[in-house]
Structure 1
């Protein structure tokens, strides 16, 4: 072999030296088993190598090499093995803990995401439950109010305010409406720390005095209200002095009179206004100087609680009634007792002096009312029709009649001379007090059910039932002029009322009201009636500013110009009439000139509306068309034809589109510039009576004879919700300025207000409240520009501000 290799040395160059090295290494192995067995095997192996063929011998693996190295260098191998093992264990440990922590992190992240989803779902459910509870409370408020339980209604309303979670201008408008419906008073006076037992009004109507179980007397000034216009428009007293009350809300006391040692049961002003008298459980009567609030005199003589005090017309004598079964007359100047009226078989609860000062009347525990001559003390009559204690007695301004209030649940009016019963007013609970209002044609009664009732003496019928107090009413006192009166209650407040006009603002029209609209600033409203009359109303005062007789048939629709400079009326004779607004608050409507007469259609016009810039006018008619007009030139720009009658046409807030409501059950949207129909809104099962845009323009609301109001997405035409209520037909619909509420005028005589935002179920938004008060169908509805009130017009010939 060696010779052959040497002979072919030149052929070795370029050969695989590594293969030869493997052959040599095998030859040098110490173990015979690892070497070539024979020379022939080696020759054959070398032959294969020379031929460039694969050799059979294999180089040692890295493991074998390592093992051999370890056997050769045992100490170094052991150290290296330890280091490698430590590194491997460290890497494995690090990897294990990383994998475990990453797994835990992923599990935690998964749990966090699940928790967030559950929290979001729970928050959504809680918000829905809170909202449902809010609306339920609103309905319970209305129910409690209608049952006369004002205290419960007030409590539920407070809970609803808490659930609403907002206040001020962001508070839902229905809270304001319900709050107003719970209080018909025009002024409220507080400050007492206990039951308010007695009220009195000064002869000039400028001051109010109250007595309380907290042992104090308080005097309040009505000076700021004197001579101003009230919601009713004002009245005049017999002397010619103007005397009215503004709505003044809560008022603070002018002066607190302290001196009694126990409950104060009675207060009265002297006719000259210089003194206030008070009677107390401490058995004394105190006379106070109204200017300084100082005690002028303390009258002692009664042996029991003093329940009533009254002055004679000359202010020189004060009468008192006591639990000691007597009534007494006292000299105001000297403080001496002048006379004692005895004859009752028990407590004397009340004493009254006639306007001429000749007679005194007393009411007693024994169920009788007795009349006495002031000059002589002689008893002249006994009125004994009541079957329970008589708590209150008062003379009419003319002195010819007498009113009484009793535990038997009745108030009665008597003829003084004959003693005959003139009128009987029945109550569901005992009557605590009675007073004549103004000229004596009306009587106000105070009862334990917290309701003030006003009665017409001539007819014997209840003319008003006024709410506001939240507890039993103990006292009532009439004003010297008009139809105002004051009451004192166990709720620790005194309130002032107008017997002929409560704060719900009811405007009486001459015929059925078919349309209403607010001016842009909310200061005025206009209404249209079936007798062709248009009335203008001042919202601040509640007064009618005047009216126009159009002589054009029913006024089906009214609309103010956006700048408030005029208004338009759509009439049955196919015309639209536009009138200018005169400057000045009290200018009569009659004098406002007609600035345009648009003979727009051949048949009745159902609606009229202005574009937002006031440049265009849209009319909808019985002739199956909607027409768009240039307001300045009265030139027709578009004629939009429908298959059936069209009841309404309404501009979008940007003025580019027009929505129409038709008898064919469809709502359509039109491009104003081209007159092209853009979209149809399908879903109503009855005639569509009205349509309007939200102030943002993203939604539309339509009212239908299918008993629904439907909300639509303006851009896609998709139905968002179908709002239902108690009515079988809904004539008109209006969006609140903020778009959160929708109001519908219904055929059942109500106004329904819905939530237009939280449409969480397929049925639609919740009915926030139902406004009841009209006595016939409601045909018109509009939100005030500030969104805090609603105006409605009805076939009962009234317009109501809610």
Structure 2
């Protein structure tokens, strides 16, 4: 056949408030506090860069693409970036000025893929009409398209020596072409989708044409080598992308659930899947030194991973609004990452500094760092700091509760097993109450053993009184009971049934208990007489007292979180309704300055409790709950990525 034709943060971390607040508002905040808070996403353990290094919206975004971007590729010298788009064009961009170079390379339909030859003189583009080769200097098409795939070409890649061109088509074949003779070599491979050459050019990785697995092929022999690499380790999820590490020893496989790493010599999976994205992971790239991996996802974020440590070290919201298209690439010098989704392509400087895209992408020039506690194998649903700040407790849908050292970010002991959904520490930090389908268990934190079981009946919520003498249990029989912790006996209950208590909290003085039932009604109870003393509207799912006991925050409605005067029981404010979705969780910082909310739009947000204005950009993630550390310097989030994340909110002094 012929071608047709011619790193973990420390407590000394610093954060600044995100740009974008009105001048007077920002000044007022700075006057009230020595530093300001920015809840945004940045690299863990990496020194944040100064404002002068930040990539602005004008020099960090490639403008002019009018439809979804499917792939990006840097030229070998790093001076150009190529993009493939549904707007029927491939474009070249100057990576310094971020301006388009010349006119687009036009196709008759969507351009799915782009690839530079190793010397950068040729750009290959793939689309419905096949694969087209372009002279990058003269900006002319070289010969006619390669038209050997039925229904067009999907991906294209040059071998590292430039002698072989690999193409994949929608006809479930991968074909290899001799670049100099422009002839197909060998028979088509029964493969599809993403393709990647190993660094030595001897091996080609493809997706199987028959099932959800990746295949390795001997390029010279046109034959499969070894076994199929499946994504069955994470629920048989679909494979979406492939990339070799720069030394060829690892193959990264992106899936609908996470990222798998494989040893290419043994063809064995390396460790556990890397999880963190909350939607399909669509693209992956290794840095030139092989130490870092970048991924993009349909959750509209890009993330960086420490390959050796097998942990996420940063993330950013790309700034698009659609899940269509997702691509990522490292520049040859490893200093820049290009990532895309929808019509947006962003360039970030990642050379030993914090990732610095424009504020529109969700980052300030100097951002708090995040530590990630990974161990749960199911969604994390509840979180609590010990009052002394040394421990964090988490509960997961994997039927475990876990304790973590907040200084070292390591799990303490073995998981506590059981069908749990709520967790609370005693005021002296010695006892952990865990509630759920198994009832309520009291756990000796130091001895790591169960010491009591106040209720064998399913419980939806638990709370210790501020003096630690009582534990209040919301049971499945619609009762709210008091448990005498020292006497190990029941000590009364509320006089009226409450159907499924979703949330409850004691006032700081212990005189009032507030409950939120399944009906959404917020009720206040005198803890001495156990009598109902008031109610605050309806439609709520969560509640929290401010540290001084004067204010209640409730969440649940689509109109933001509501703030109430606890004495008069009148609403005194609410957070902005700019975000969408129900507020499912609320928490006050112990210093009283901040309110954190978990929102149905897959964000967590911080609010100034005086002005009721949002502080900074939202934290992006499908979260279930939030909690502040006792010193108010750290925010913990838990959610769909099976982890707990600790966000550094330390003020600048």
TM-score after normalising by structure 1: 0.42
Label 1:446 to 1:647 Cα distance change in 2 as closer, same or farther (>3 A): closer
Q: 1:416 to 1:171 in 2, by over 3 A?
A: farther
Give 1:438 deviation, angstroms.
Answer: 5.9
Please say if residues 445 and 454 of structure 1, whose CA atoms lie closer than 8 Å, have aligned partners that are also in contact: no
| Distance change in 2, residues 1:171/1:771 (3 Å) | same
1:737, 1:362 → 2: CA distance? 60
- 794 and 395 in structure 1: CA distance in 2 versus 1, 3 angstrom threshold: closer
Q: Distance in 2 between matches of 1:156 and 1:418?
A: 58
Residue 629 (structure 1) aligned to one of 483, 487, 503: 483
Counterpart residue number, 2:395? 528
CA distance in 1, matches of 2:165, 2:449: 64
More helix by share: 1
Is 1:656–2:521 an aligned residue pair? no
Unaligned runs of 5+ residues in structure 1 are: 1-153, 196-264, 267-320, 326-344, 348-359, 370-380, 386-393, 404-412, 428-432, 457-461, 478-484, 583-590, 760-764
Preserved contact between residue 728 and residue 748 of structure 1 (Cα < 8 Å): yes
Matched, 1:607 2:607: no
CA distance in structure 1 between the aligned counterparts of 2:573 and 2:48, rounded to whole angstroms: 46
C-alpha change, 1:576 and 1:476, in structure 2 (3 Å) is farther
Matching residue of 1:311: none
CA contact (8 A) 1:414 1:421 kept: yes
Cα deviation, 1:123-157, whole Å, max 9, x if unaligned, reads: xxxxxxxxxxxxxxxxxxxxxxxxxxxxxxx9994
1:440-462 superposed Cα distances (whole Å, 9 cap, x missing partner) = 44762579xxx974499xxxxx9
1:699 aligns with 2:561: no
State the Cα distance separating 1:766 from its structure 2 match. Answer: 4.8
Query: Shift of residue 751 of structure 1?
Result: 2.8
Shift in Å at residue 636 of structure 1? Answer: 2.7
- For normalisation by structure 2, the TM-score amounts to 0.51
Instruction: Mark the structure with the bigger radius of gyration.
Output: 1
> In the TM superposition, what is the alpha-carbon distance from 1:595 to its structure 2 partner?
1.3
Structure 2: how far apart are the matches of 1:185 and 1:382? Answer: 44
Q: How far did 1:644 drift? A: 2.9
Task: Give the SS at the match of 1:716.
Answer: coil
1:164 equivalent among 13, 20, 26? 26
What's the counterpart of residue 234 of structure 1?
none
Q: 1:509 to 1:707 in 2, by over 3 A?
A: farther
Change (3 A) 1:476 1:566: farther
Q: 1:161/1:704 Cα in 2 relative to 1: closer, same or farther (>3 Å)?
A: closer
Whether 1:753 aligns to 2:601 is: no
Distance 1:398 1:523, change over 3 A: farther
CA distance in 2 between counterparts of 1:525 and 1:641 reads 34
Instruction: Determine the C-alpha separation between the residues in 1 that align with 2:301 and 2:584.
Output: 31
**Compared with structure 1, are the counterparts of its residues 781 and 468 closer, same or farther at alpha carbon in structure 2 (3 Å cutoff)?**
closer
- Aligned-pair RMSD on alpha carbons? 5.5
Contact 2:378 2:398 in 1 (8 A): yes
Verify the 8 A CA contact 1:516 1:780 in the aligned structure 2.
yes
**1:568 matched to which residue of 2?**
433
Counterpart in 1 of 2:441?
577
Measured at CA, do residues 644 and 527 of structure 1 come closer, stay the same or move farther in structure 2, by a change above 3 Å? same
CA contact (8 A) 2:604 2:620 kept: yes
| Alignment-derived partner of residue 26 in structure 1 | none
Q: Note closer, same or farther for the CA distance 1:426–1:436 as it changes in structure 2 (3 Å cut).
A: farther
Whose relative contact order is higher, 1 or 2, with alpha carbons under 8 Å and at least 6 apart? 2
Q: State how many pairs are aligned.
A: 418
Distance 1:698 1:768, change over 3 A: farther
Within 5 Å, give how 1:175-186 maps onto structure 2: 175=38, 177-178=39-40, 180=41, 183-184=42-43, 186=45
Partner deviation per Cα, 1:741-777 (whole Å, 9 max, x = no partner):
3223345543343332215xxxxx5586543322xxx
Contact 2:440 2:458 in 1 (8 A): no
Residue in 2 that maps onto 1:782: 627
**Map of 1:639-788 to 2, 5 A cutoff?**
639-645=493-499, 646-672=501-527, 674-677=528-531, 679-682=533-536, 684-686=537-539, 688-704=540-556, 708-723=560-575, 725=577, 726-759=579-612, 765-766=613-614, 769-774=617-622, 778-788=623-633
SS of 1:636's equivalent? strand
Question: How has the CA–CA distance of structure 1 residues 693 and 473 changed in structure 2, closer, same or farther, with 3 Å as cutoff?
Answer: same
> For the residues of structure 2 that align with 1:164 and 1:421, how far apart are their CA atoms?
61
More strand by share: 2
Kindly report which structure 2 residues correspond to 1:218-237, keeping only aligned pairs within 5 A, or say none: none
Deviation at 1:465, TM superposition (A): 4.2
Q: How big is the shift at 1:615?
A: 2.4
Using the TM superposition, give the Cα deviation of residue 577 of structure 1 relative to its aligned residue in structure 2, in angstroms: 0.5
